[in-house]
Amino acid sequence: MRKILAAALFLTLAAIVIPVLSVLTEGDKKPEVQELDLGPKVKVLNSESGQVMTLPLEEYLVGVVAAEMPAAFPAEALKAQAAAARTYTLRRMETGSSPDNPHPRAHVCTDFNHCQAWIDNEEMARRWGKAFDSNLAKIRSAVFETAGLAIYYNNALIDPVYHSTSNGRTENSEDVWGSRMPYLRSVASTWDRQSPKFRTSVEVPVEAVTALGGAGAIQQVSTGGDRELIRGLEYTSTGRLKTVQIAGRTISSIDLRKALNLPSTDLTWKVSGEKVIFRATGSGHGVGMSQYGARGMAEEGRTFEEILKHYYTGVEVKAAY
């Protein structure tokens, strides 16, 4: 009888202990985690400090997207921005120390006037405040979910230029920079009308305008001819200025915009007293992807790849690494 009771007790304990040990053993196994490829190392010149940072490409892109596009934009727009910024960086890494590179120690810099904007976590925290954690998580997701993807035309990395807001159509590359790129074609971008930068106005002192025209412009204003101080000469197919005349002197609209810090080259103006009031449509050079257009497309349910293929004609999006 005792032997029977002992056997029963043994079987009962085995029924309890063995499953527990099995669970503990399974729990001790480390889950297989696929490590994210953070890409090649990129050398980044911090334009403020003058220091060259070496960062994994994907980590660098988090700071670029945070600086270049509002975190409030939809995820697919942020992904499109990440892919464009990745393509730009990889292209710069390919060209290396080219003659037009003012910072040969680095592939890119943090000055948006020359390369792409970039901010660190400290600056993100300053800008976003309490939304820092959620915004950073959103941007990191956009970057890491597109990790390694870049934009190609005929199997070559494109120059993925982008701007804030178009005037309803993007611009052909040759109308801005003189060289025709087959993937930088003018396309419709009606979503930009919802951008806060679609219509803006800027007041500029008359003296700043006359300085561009030289002595002739100064003389013209002094003799009461300020109504014809500026005259549009050539326009692009999208209605943007190509060249203007200031008191007989012809300058490009690009130079006009840069000299007077104007939002775009789609301009009208009037002289009022000692000021010239410029009314601008759109913001930026107008070539390539419109960021507010990307926002509008994403809000309609378009994917980041659809956005990129709309703004960059004839391209494909594929893995670079």
Sign of torsion over alpha carbons 286, 289, 290, 291: negative
Mean pLDDT of the chain: 88
Q: Burial of 46 by CB count in 10 Å (0-12 exposed, 13-18 middle, 19+ buried)? A: middle
pLDDT over threshold 50, residue 20: no
Percentage of the residues of the chain whose pLDDT score is greater than 90: 76
Q: What average pLDDT does this structure show over 10-18?
A: 47
- Please tell me whether residue 35 adopts helix, strand or coil conformation: coil
Q: Strand pairing of 275-281 and 289-290?
A: unpaired
Please tell me the pTM assigned to this model.
Answer: 0.84
Q: Where is pLDDT greater, at 19 or 250?
A: 250
User: So what's the pLDDT on residue 219?
Assistant: 52
Q: What average pLDDT does this structure show over 55-61?
A: 98
What band does 11 get if pLDDT is binned at 50, 70 and 90?
A: very low
User: So what's the pLDDT on residue 63?
Assistant: 98
User: So what's the pLDDT on residue 215?
Assistant: 60
User: So what's the pLDDT on residue 229?
Assistant: 85
User: So what's the pLDDT on residue 126?
Assistant: 98
Alpha-carbon torsion angle 163, 169, 170, 173, nearest 10: -150
CB atoms within 10 A of CB 20: 9
CB neighbours of 249 closer than 8 A, spacing ≥ 6? 212, 213, 214, 216, 217
Measured distance CA(127)–CA(121) in Å, rounded = 10
Main-chain dihedrals φ then ψ at residue 224, nearest 5 degrees: 85, 20
Note the maximum CA span of the chain.
127
Q: Apex CA 125: angle with CA 124 and CA 126, to 5°?
A: 90
- Please tell me whether residue 111 adopts helix, strand or coil conformation: coil
Nearest to 118 by CA among 182, 39, 51, 73: 51
CB atoms within 10 A of CB 148: 18
User: So what's the pLDDT on residue 236?
Assistant: 96
pLDDT over threshold 70, residue 2: no
Measured distance CA(146)–CA(41) in Å, rounded = 17
Annotated domain spans of the chain: 41-162+287-319, 199-281
Q: What number of helices (H) and strands (E) belong to the chain? A: 11, 14
Q: What pLDDT, in 10s, does the model give residues 163-196?
A: 999 999 999 999 999 999 999 999 999 999 999 9
Q: Strand pairing of 162-163 and 289-290?
A: parallel
User: So what's the pLDDT on residue 37?
Assistant: 84
pLDDT over threshold 70, residue 151: yes
As a whole number of Å, the end-to-end CA separation of the chain is 72
Q: Where is pLDDT greater, at 281 or 17?
A: 281
Q: Where is pLDDT greater, at 220 or 309?
A: 309
CB atoms within 10 A of CB 142: 26
Q: What pLDDT, in 10s, does the model give residues 63-121?
A: 999 999 999 999 999 999 999 999 999 999 998 655 566 788 899 999 988 899 999 99
pLDDT over threshold 70, residue 217: no
User: So what's the pLDDT on residue 216?
Assistant: 56
pLDDT over threshold 50, residue 161: yes
Q: Where is pLDDT greater, at 216 or 22?
A: 216
User: So what's the pLDDT on residue 227?
Assistant: 57
Q: Which of 10-24, 81-95, 147-161 has the lowest mean pLDDT?
A: 10-24
Q: Burial of 62 by CB count in 10 Å (0-12 exposed, 13-18 middle, 19+ buried)? A: buried
Please count the CA atoms within 13 angstroms of the CA of 282 that sit on its side-chain side: 30
User: So what's the pLDDT on residue 113?
Assistant: 85
Q: What pLDDT, in 10s, does the model give residues 192-213?
A: 999 999 999 999 999 999 999 8
